[in-house]
């Protein structure tokens, strides 16, 4: 706690103020004390010089050049009225100077004593005065801890000789006492100034640090994710500007986060609802993201996130993050008999380093199957065309070479049959092309459901009679007319009845029924064609309406099938506003339901 307090800006500001005032007061105090002491010393020096000058004048008057007159000086000096701490001595000019007079009343026994023998007189100053020089010195007193000012001035006669020496001392204790008192006063002043400075420094520091603490506290809240933070701006100084910029930063941050959140929401929505599966892995092949399509496709659960995956199982091999060429490409992948095209590319860091891969799974099962069917269709059509062309070519060549009349008719019938076979194939292709490019010309009209079914059966009578199949028709008396394009409807029903006849064995049963059907406020004629033929495997039912698709290729080819009939029927009935459904059980039979738009009721 104390450590944090000492490290705070508030403590530093107060400490700086404290040190500055302390240094300032110390400098000012030292200067004042030294100056005061210097002034007092100069004043003492001046007073001593004046006193010495006065005594010198008086001494000169009393002496009149007669040494015997010095005896009268002692009494005069004692009555001179010197201040406390001052002493004056008149010394002779003998080789060994003696005290001729003294201002110290209790020291009468000093008279005629050798000046050099007295410890409180400085011999060097006396010697200098004997030589005619005025000398002075500040000497530490042995009896007093304070210093004593000494001045020795020679008293010169008119001819220039030294008549006597005036030796004056003054105790400087008063000066030191005054300077000591000044130091005490300055110390108290310094303490008071420091106290006031500390209080003012605390107030100033608090006014500075309180907004900063407020900004710091709000910044901590922002670090925790609470970005709705604002500070009160109470001034326009640097602290106020800091608060203003913090509020501006908060507003901009909230705005940016809102934009980022919106963009993230858009990306998440796109990512999760896009038709392709997408996963992201890092350099360690750790799965870091996967959308719902990818999770379902690869059977991934949420607990697989942030775990390593084997990318070789999804078709990625020889991935080297230090080699850019290995990080981009595409491949075909089969998963549970479905085909997907995977495309992958790296995502990079701010330093343009490869951090991982984004892998996209595009469902190309339909395109793949169509490609396979297209190849099969080309092969089937080639075979279907090759067989009749070869037959026609062979029989035509035989006819050209000459044959019997009976064989000629037989050969011509074979040529006609094979020609019709090619014609049917070309016709189916043309119908399919017209549907694709919407070139069919529809003529919508009402026509009788009875006549429609009867005419479709008549077109198959020859094949039905050859296979000795039993045909039953179940149509109610009160039934609506069919309201659609008659030619297109004939093609659809004829195709369905033809398939039922072809894929039902000899002596099989085929039942055709019709009824009125209403759905979603619309009226339809529901025609069902049910047989007990070979049926369709359950696994083939979802693809039964796809172009070029055939359940049993060998058998379909032998029966003249191209795999286009049901596809044509589906697309044609859709274009007529109806629908077609197939329900089948293998080796038990098939039921085809045709929904044609209905018109008015049939009137007999």
Taking residue 293's Cβ as centre, other Cβ atoms within 10 Å add up to 20
Q: How many CB atoms lie within 10 A of CB 1?
A: 5
> What pLDDT digit, counting tens, does each position of 351-388 carry?
778 888 888 888 887 777 777 777 776 776 776 677 77
Query: What pLDDT digit, counting tens, does each position of 543-601 carry?
Result: 888 766 677 654 555 555 566 788 888 988 998 899 999 999 998 999 999 999 999 88
Phi-psi region of 285 (alpha: psi -120 to 50; beta: other; left: phi over 0): left
What's the confidence (pLDDT) of residue 1? 46
Contacts of 361 (CB under 8 A, 6+ apart): 276, 277, 278, 279, 293, 294, 297, 333, 340, 341, 342
Element (H, E) at 574: helix 565-575
Phi, psi dihedral angles at 91 (to 5 degrees): -115, 150
Tokens 């404290």 locate to 18
Residue bearing tokens 């409180």: 120
Query: Cα–Cα distance between 332 and 95 in angstroms, integer?
Result: 134
Distance, in Å, from the CA atom of 468 to the CA atom of 505, rounded to the nearest integer, reads: 9
**What integer pLDDT is reported at residue 561 of this predicted model?**
58
**What does the pLDDT read at residue 380?**
67
**468 HSE (CA, 13 A, CB side):** 2
**Can you give the length of the chain in residues?**
604
> What are the 10-residue block averages of pLDDT along the chain, 604 residues in total?
57 80 85 85 86 80 56 74 83 84 71 84 87 85 72 81 85 81 85 85 77 78 76 74 81 82 78 77 83 79 79 78 81 79 83 82 79 72 74 80 75 79 74 69 89 91 89 92 91 91 92 93 94 90 77 55 77 90 92 94 69
Query: Backbone phi, then psi, for 444, in 5-degree steps?
Result: -85, 130
Check if the beta carbon of residue 321 is closer than 8 Å to that of residue 305. Answer: no
Q: What pLDDT score does 603 carry?
A: 65
Calpha distance 265→225 (Å, rounded): 18
Displacement of CA 552 from its chain's centroid (Å): 59
């Amino acid at each position: 706690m104390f450590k944090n307090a000492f490290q705070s800006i508030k403590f530093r500001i107060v400490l700086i103020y404290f040190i500055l005032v302390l240094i300032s007061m110390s400098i000012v105090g030292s200067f004042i004390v030294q100056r005061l002491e210097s002034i007092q010393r100069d004043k003492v020096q001046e007073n001593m010089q004046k006193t010495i000058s006065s005594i010198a004048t008086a001494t000169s008057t009393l002496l009149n050049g007669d040494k015997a007159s010095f005896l009268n000086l002692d009494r005069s000096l004692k009555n001179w009225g010197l201040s406390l701490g001052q002493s004056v001595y008149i010394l002779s000019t003998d080789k060994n100077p003696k005290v001729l007079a003294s201002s110290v009343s209790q020291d009468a026994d000093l008279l005629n004593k050798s000046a050099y023998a007295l410890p409180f007189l400085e011999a060097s100053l006396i010697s200098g005065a004997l030589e005619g020089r005025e000398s002075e010195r500040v000497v530490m007193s042995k009896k007093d801890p304070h210093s004593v000012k000494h001045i020795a001035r020679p008293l010169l006669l008119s001819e220039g000789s030294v008549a006597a020496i005036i030796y004056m001392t003054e105790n400087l204790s008063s000066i030191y006492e005054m300077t000591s008192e000044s130091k005490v006063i300055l110390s108290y002043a310094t303490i008071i100034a420091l106290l006031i400075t500390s209080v003012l420094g605390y107030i100033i520091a608090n006014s500075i640090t309180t907004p900063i603490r407020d900004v710091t506290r709000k910044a901590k809240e922002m670090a925790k994710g609470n970005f709705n933070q604002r500070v009160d701006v109470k001034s326009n100084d640097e602290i106020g500007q800091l608060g203003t910029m913090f509020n501006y930063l908060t507003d901009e941050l909230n705005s940016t986060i809102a934009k980022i959140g919106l963009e993230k929401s858009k990306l998440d929505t796109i990512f999760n609802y896009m038709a392709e599966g997408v996963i992201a892995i890092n350099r360690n092949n750790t799965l870091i993201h996967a959308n719902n399509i990818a999770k379902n496709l690869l059977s991934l659960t949420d607990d697989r996130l942030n775990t390593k995956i084997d990318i070789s199982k999804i078709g990625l091999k020889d991935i080297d993050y230090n080699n850019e060429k290995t990080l981009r490409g595409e491949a075909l992948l089969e998963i549970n008999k479905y085909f997907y095209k995977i495309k992958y590319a790296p995502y990079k860091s701010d330093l343009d380093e490869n951090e991982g891969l984004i892998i996209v799974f595009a469902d190309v099962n339909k395109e793949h199957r169509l490609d396979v069917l297209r190849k099969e269709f080309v092969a089937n059509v080639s075979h279907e065309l090759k067989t009749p062309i070869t037959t026609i070519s062979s029989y035509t060549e035989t006819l050209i070479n000459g044959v019997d009349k009976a064989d000629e008719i037989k050969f011509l019938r074979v040529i006609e049959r094979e020609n019709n076979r090619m014609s049917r194939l070309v016709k189916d292709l043309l119908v399919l092309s017209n549907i694709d490019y919407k070139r069919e010309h529809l003529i919508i009209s009402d026509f009788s459901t009875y006549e429609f079914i009867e005419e479709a059966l008549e077109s198959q009578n020859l094949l039905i009679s050859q296979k000795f199949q039993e045909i039953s028709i179940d149509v109610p008396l009160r039934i609506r007319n069919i309201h659609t394009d008659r030619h297109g409807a004939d093609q659809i029903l004829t195709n369905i009845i033809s398939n039922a006849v072809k894929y039902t064995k000899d002596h099989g049963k085929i039942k055709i029924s019709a009824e009125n059907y209403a759905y979603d406020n619309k009226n339809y004629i529901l025609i069902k064609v049910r047989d007990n033929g070979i049926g369709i495997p359950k696994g083939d039912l979802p693809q039964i309406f796809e172009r070029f698709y055939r359940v049993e290729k060998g058998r379909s080819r032998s029966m003249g099938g191209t795999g286009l009939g049901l596809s044509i029927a589906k697309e044609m009935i859709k274009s007529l506003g109806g629908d077609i459904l197939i329900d089948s059980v293998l080796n038990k039979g098939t039921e085809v339901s045709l929904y044609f738009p209905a018109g008015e009721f049939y009137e007999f």
